[in-house]
């Protein structure tokens, strides 16, 4: 299950992300203010802590970006 979530995040990064994906043409220079990006951070947290805690930490990071 963890691998599926990581693959979904990778799909998002490749095809939908405003930082690295196809939609990057709409945000030159990237849209994310944090390093690593929120999607990369979420992927790392899922790998380290598992799905529930990793996704929770990722959501908290996205919310804190405002």
pLDDT tens, N- to C-terminus, the chain (66 residues):
899 999 999 998 888 887 776 776 666 666 677 788 888 999 999 999 999 999 999 999 988 876
Nearest CA-CA partner of 41 in 21, 23, 56, 25: 56
Q: Which residue has the tokens 């979420």?
A: 42
Q: How many domains does the chain have?
A: 1
- Separation CA 29–CA 64 (nearest Å): 21
Domain that holds residue 8: 2-23+30-64
Nearest CA-CA partner of 24 in 33, 35, 34, 13: 13
pLDDT at site 29: 65
């Amino acid at each position: 299950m963890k691998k599926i979530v990581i693959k979904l995040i990778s799909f998002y990064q490749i095809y939908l992300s405003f930082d690295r994906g196809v939609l990057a043409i709409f945000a030159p220079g990237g849209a994310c203010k944090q390093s690593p990006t929120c999607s990369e951070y979420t992927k790392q947290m899922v790998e380290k802590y598992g799905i529930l805690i990793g996704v929770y930490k990722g959501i908290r990071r996205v919310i804190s970006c405002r």
